[in-house]
Structure 1
């Protein structure tokens, strides 16, 4: 798991963007309004826009470019113009530090 930040450093309703390596897409880590922490691919599935710069509403993030909504819990696109989901990543809090385990890319080769 990759350490992101202390949970106290990510206010509710905010997000942080992390990069893992040159082969893994950037990840947006959110502190949702339900108090939960969620991580999804940072790139909107509709068009190139950073979801970490979007607007958090409950457990949804609104893309800042065309207002598509994504459920942070499942990655599902909940309204147009987005039709495809974004990938979710495992999140854990360990000793007050937020950690993310990037999901394995489906097209990755062993």
Structure 2
């Protein structure tokens, strides 16, 4: 199967959270990440096409970055999300994370 992603993925095990609309915070794990999105391992994935807010801890930021995202696919193990617009600080911090070993 051909990979159509624009950005290379980095395998990672990072504790994150997400929120669907005004719903409760759901703790989860990020399994891979890129500048364009991530795979979120969770027992309760949001439905395909849902708009969610990903709460991502990034080095150099005082609090977790709240990144608007859209669910692009789901599996029983979780969901793949595409990031929406991020600010310059969040983009820089994410780029630093992706560049680290």
- Give the TM-score taking structure 1 as reference length: 0.28
Q: Which has the higher helix share?
A: 2
Q: Which has the higher strand share?
A: 2
- Give the TM-score taking structure 2 as reference length: 0.29
